[in-house]
Amino acid sequence: QVQLVESGGGSVQAGGSLRLSCAVSGDISSRYFMGWFRQRPGREREGVAHINSDERTKYADTVKGRFTISRDNAKNILYLQMNGLEPEETAMYYCAAARGRCIVVGGCTYRYWGLGTQVTVSS
């Protein structure tokens, strides 16, 4: 039974930073692609970033240069460091795991999902 549990969300002022964590447990290979998604109010879920087993990363254009995805395979934790947050980035943030190769951020099928953590950015 694979479980992904996000944490680290909260409320922050515009321009502030948050670091999200995703604890991974169960029978899941470190070869899985790991991704972060977000769903803003009234909008569809969108891919934010992903990272492969060799720690190669890719980001959505909207967050490039401000967000950093990383993984600690020894501790089975996925991270998303978010800097320079903007009010429009208020959303539920989800971590997910995909089998196979992912090229486009958010563009492949993710098998496992966490329940999300709320991020609220105020002006």
pLDDT tens-digit series, residues 72-93: 988 999 999 999 999 999 999 9
* The pLDDT value given to residue 35: 97
The answer, yes or no, to whether residue 11 has pLDDT greater than 90, is yes
Mean pLDDT of 25-54: 92
Cα→Cα distances 31→68, 113, 116, Å? 19, 16, 22
Chain mean pLDDT for the chain:
94
Overall average pLDDT of the 10-34 stretch: 93
- % of the chain beyond a pLDDT of 70: 100
Instruction: Provide CB contacts within 8 A for 89, sequence distance 6+.
Output: 38, 40, 82, 119, 121
Phi, psi (rounded to 5 degrees) for 89: -95, 10
Cβ of 119: how many Cβ atoms within 10 Å?
22
Rounded CA-CA distance 44/39 in Å is 6
